[in-house]
Amino acid sequence: MAVWTKLREMLRGEALADDPGNAEAMYLRGMLAYAVGDYDGALELFEGAAAADPTVARHHAQCGAMRLHAGRLDEAFDAYETAIRLEPDAAEHWVRMAAVLDRLDEIERAVEAARCAAALDPESAEAHGMLASLLLASGELDEALESARAGVAADANDAALHGIVSAIHALSGEDELAEASARRALDLDPEEPYAMRSLAHVLRRSGRDAEAAEYERRIDVLPATGE
């Protein structure tokens, strides 16, 4: 533990002490601070990088990521808005903006941001996953399924996307398809929440109460997401 504490101190201090105007050094040390869990230190360094060179989109995007992690949603929105202005064709900025807008309960705007991300990068499983999850929450099941399937086509090993597909099929009463997708998701990630919930519902509906109860127990002990 003392080693990590010392490393965090070095990462926070040396970049600023060596050359407080070196945006790239601050950015890289911010990434290292993030990697060891020093989120406050990472934000300080990313903010320093953004101040030293405000023309680089990733500096602002990383500020947004840290502020989103801290629940500072309005500030995260501002950071991603700047990143998008500087780099409007970067799908990842639109995905993160969609996440911020979702947390702000701006669901329609979140969906539009996610649509932008998927249009900018049709091969991005992350963009399709964000769009599918937002559409699912909005009850737009047909479009959600289309987006989730596009995400699976981009990355067949994305457990969350298979979980979203299973949830959509479960809500549509397509229990066999829901179960197949849920079990595929759980093969990839045994704690995938969409898959566990949809599988529990399907099992209950088919009278397999003991197995359903086991998944319900596992759902109850899932760690909080912080969302």
Q: What is the pLDDT of residues 43-93, one digit of tens each?
A: 999 999 999 999 999 999 999 999 999 999 999 999 999 999 999 999 999
CB 62 within 8 A of CB 41: no
> What is the pTM assigned to this prediction?
0.84
Q: Is 200 helix (H, G, I), strand (E, B) or coil?
A: helix
Q: Cα–Cα distance between 212 and 131 in angstroms, integer?
A: 29
Rounded to the nearest angstrom, the gap between the alpha carbon of residue 69 and the centroid of all alpha carbons in its chain is 11
Alpha helices in 87-158 (DSSP H): 91-103, 107-120, 125-137, 141-154
Q: What is the pLDDT along the chain (227 residues), one digit of tens a residue?
A: 443 454 455 555 554 455 667 898 899 999 999 999 999 999 999 999 999 999 999 999 999 999 999 999 999 999 999 999 999 999 999 999 999 999 999 999 999 999 999 999 999 999 999 999 999 999 999 999 999 999 999 999 999 999 999 999 999 999 999 999 999 999 999 999 999 999 999 999 999 999 999 999 998 887 765 44
- pLDDT for res 116: 97
pLDDT in the model for residue 223: 73
Q: Distance (Å, rounded) from C-alpha 39 to C-alpha 51?
A: 18
**Which residue type sits at 161?**
L
Residue 31 to residue 227: CA distance in whole angstroms: 23
Domains of the chain, first to last:
157-227 (1.25.40)
Report how far residue 27's alpha carbon sits from residue 22's, in angstroms, rounded to the nearest whole number: 9
Q: How far apart are CA 83 and CA 80, in angstroms?
A: 5
For residue range 106-120, list pLDDT tens digits in order.
999 999 999 999 999
Residues 125, 133: contact at Cβ < 8 Å? no
Residue 108, classified by CB atoms within 10 Å of its CB into exposed (0-12), middle (13-18) or buried (19+), is: exposed
Cα–Cα distance for residue pair 137/73, rounded to 1 Å: 20
